Amino acid sequence: MLYFLQHYWWILVSLLGAILVFLMFVQGGQSLLIWSTKNKEEKTLLINALGHKWELTFTTLVTFGGAIFASFPLYYSTSFGGAYWLWTAILFLFVIQAVSYEFRGKAGNLLGAKTYETFLFLNGMVGTILIGVAVGTFFTGGSFVMDKMSITDIYKPTISYWTNGWHGLDAITNPFNLTMGIVVFLAARTLGLLYIIMQIDSDAFITRCKSQVKVTGTAFVIGFVLLLLVLFTMTGYSVSQENGLISPVRYKYFFNMTQLIWPLAMLLMGVILVLWGLGTSFFAKGRYSFYITGGGVVVAVWSILICAAFNDTAFFVSTVNIQNSLTLYNSSSSEFTLKVMAFASLMIPFVLGYIVYVWRALTKVKISTDEIGKADSHKY
């Protein structure tokens, strides 16, 4: 039963991570503020189109952290607690996003509209890359040691701790992590452009976005293919269910895909949806390009995150001592906790249904200068 619950919760946590990558279309749209918008009117249209959705990304990020804390607390304490400079940077960039949406449109705001627009741009550029870097550590691990018996030490009751002073910032220097960050940014920017094309009523701005999405979308596909090539040829770490011994396995993540089969089917489905969605945008009106491409991103990212831990794989490797690496088996909550949470997770379809309802209500009318100029309209 515990084995099933551990894998069940990794599936849910991975799904939250995949949805988070999709919802970062908000951040991708914000990255257009500096060079892509030509005047104040376009910036206002862009910010108000994205302003209806930014809370979803922030909430999903917090929910992802909460789900990790409840289901795999040792990973939470090791990564969030040890690599705290990386996570603090991410949190800071999301906090200034919230502040910017709140105060950018307020009369007499302290810092001025341009400062808040710069904050939103930084959240869109740097925030997405850092999230991708953090996701990359599921495959590359970190510089930590773990000893569960140290919890009995009254002077230092810490199960795991970081062994260098960088506390997560060193993850940025890892080529795979940085590549993951760039690919996540390109995915977010591509989805952001598709969302703007769908949601904003401004011919000149939309024409410019349609030209940009061809470049960004192509770069995203190429970057994603290169990322897969690197991932499938890199060494992963397998854990023995009998004695817990962790050992390196070349091409581990490729074997995970091919041995389990269904994640590979998910990955192929995701790639097909992304290509289909981009194709409808490149060569047709692309009325549903955003949803088709976004669905493909969710499925593809979900399959990759599943393979980070399934098939007896260490999902957070210690670069100091691989035997200290975290797996589904040594980092999860107790069977009782996971079981109680599993019952609570049955409410997820109702929550998703509510989100879909609210989403449709907020996107049924395109954002235009006339729309945000109405007396009863909320303006960011």
Tens of pLDDT along 200-215?
887 888 888 899 999 9
pLDDT at 376 over 90: no
Query: Which stretch of 5-9, 22-26, 280-284 has the lowest confidence by average pLDDT?
Result: 280-284
Cα–Cα nearest to 62, from 120, 31, 23: 23
Neighbours of 72 (CB within 10 A): 27
Average pLDDT over residues 275-299: 91
- pLDDT value of position 93: 92
Residue type at 58 in one-letter notation: F
**Distance in angstroms (rounded) separating the CA atoms of residues 322 and 141:** 10
Q: Quick one: 39 exposed, middle or buried, by C-beta within 10 A (0-12, 13-18, 19+)?
A: exposed
pLDDT at 219 over 90: yes
The listed range with the strongest mean pLDDT (37-41, 63-67, 72-76, 305-309) is 305-309
Please report which confidence band the pLDDT of residue 146 belongs to, taking 50, 70 and 90 as the band edges: confident
Average pLDDT over residues 5-33: 92
Give the pTM.
0.92
Average pLDDT over residues 239-249: 87
Average pLDDT over residues 276-288: 88
Q: Which residues pair with 367 in a beta bridge?
A: 200
- 147 versus 272: which is more confidently predicted? 272
Average pLDDT over residues 11-32: 92
Q: Report the chain's mean pLDDT, rounded to a whole number.
A: 87
pLDDT at 153 over 80: no
The listed range with the strongest mean pLDDT (205-214, 251-260, 279-288) is 251-260
Q: How far is CA 28 from CA 122, 138, 236, 257, 278, in A?
A: 11, 23, 31, 29, 16
pLDDT at 327 over 70: yes
**Distance in angstroms (rounded) separating the CA atoms of residues 283 and 287:** 12
Average pLDDT over residues 107-131: 86
Average pLDDT over residues 132-155: 81
**Distance in angstroms (rounded) separating the CA atoms of residues 298 and 22:** 6
Percentage of the chain beyond pLDDT 70 is: 93
Q: Where are the alpha helices (DSSP H) in the chain?
A: 2-23, 25-30, 40-51, 54-71, 73-75, 81-82, 84-103, 113-122, 128-140, 175-199, 203-233, 252-260, 262-283, 289-307, 328-331, 335-344, 348-363, 369-372
